[in-house]
Structure 1
């Protein structure tokens, strides 16, 4: 919904999983895949992934942060970044926020580069991201999505075992 010339109103859905998911997702065939946990990721590469995945959905938080702020966050011990590679190219990334451990592991960012959407990679990568979050030993795993994300995101999260627990609205600046 438009709200002024460069603002959109997003409805945010907060979800949580309080038990390990029993959903099994096979590895997609016909494409070479690798998921690597990034350590000491250069800020420019993080910004590239963030833009590629987040621009269509108007992701905002990291756009507003300085390089020093982004660096401090992505290099913190309470942050994990996992990058999905498909046939050698970056296909998506997930960012875990572990600052509220052991109570909660949050999947703060999750998504695919548009070129790799529609190939069955999202469900596989999400299952692997959920497993990575649970491997840290939290009491629950959380994620949120909003009405500007992929229209399939909320449905996918619920199919994977997340349950909506609350909602809010937020004004978001468009990413032009």
Structure 2
């Protein structure tokens, strides 16, 4: 698997990977995602988007949300193409994104929809642990769901 910069030609593939409205909500807190929405995400300030490629085919997507003021990075909107799930690519994607994030800042976090059990297992296997309950409660204020907030164990 090779992690490369996301480009708008990948947007249609990525937009089609969530197989239901429920899965889309767990992925990105939306009911529907179009290629235009995915392309717009990577254009946002302080967002660095990546696509993972195997044999020239895009198989996974993820973003780094850079927060220079807080000296931290949030991994966001991670998804693996349905045909490639269950092969360890999610964990590899998380590992590569975490390495990229740590080149920016020493603290790496992520939030996960509370009923996304496969993602929670993947992220735990990649070295992420829950943040303290008080911190999670503070960060969940105003959020659409009470996310499970995680930090990479090797980060500050």
Scaled by the length of structure 2, what TM-score is found? 0.68
Q: Contact 2:24–2:30 at 8 Å: present in 1 too?
A: no
Q: How far apart, in 2, do the equivalents of 1:129 and 1:62 lie?
A: 25
Map of 2:80 onto structure 1: 112
1:49-60 aligned within 5 A = 49-53=14-18, 55=20, 57-59=23-25, 60=29
1:127 pairs with 90, 95, 105, which one? 95
RMSD: 3.0
Q: Contact 2:15–2:38 at 8 Å: present in 1 too?
A: no
Residue aligned with 1:52, SS: coil
Map of 2:68 onto structure 1: 101
**Gaps (5+ residues) in structure 2?**
146-156
1:79-136 deviations in whole A, cap 9, x for unaligned? 11111112221111111111x2252111111120110011122211211111011111
Map of 1:46 onto structure 2: 11
Q: How far apart, in 1, do the equivalents of 2:58 and 2:64 lie?
A: 18
Residue aligned with 1:96, SS: strand
Scaled by the length of structure 1, what TM-score is found? 0.61
Q: How far apart, in 2, do the equivalents of 1:46 and 1:116 lie?
A: 17
**Gaps (5+ residues) in structure 1?**
1-32, 172-176
Q: Which has the higher helix share?
A: 2
If asked which structure has higher relative contact order (CA below 8 Å, sep 6+), I would say 1
Alignment partner of 1:86 is 2:54: yes
Deviation at 1:73, TM superposition (A): 4.0
Q: How far apart, in 2, do the equivalents of 1:66 and 1:50 lie?
A: 5
1:68-83 aligned within 5 A = 73-83=41-51
Q: Which has the higher strand share?
A: 1
Residue aligned with 2:109, SS: strand
Q: How far apart, in 2, do the equivalents of 1:96 and 1:155 lie?
A: 20
The structure with the largest alpha-carbon Rg is: 1
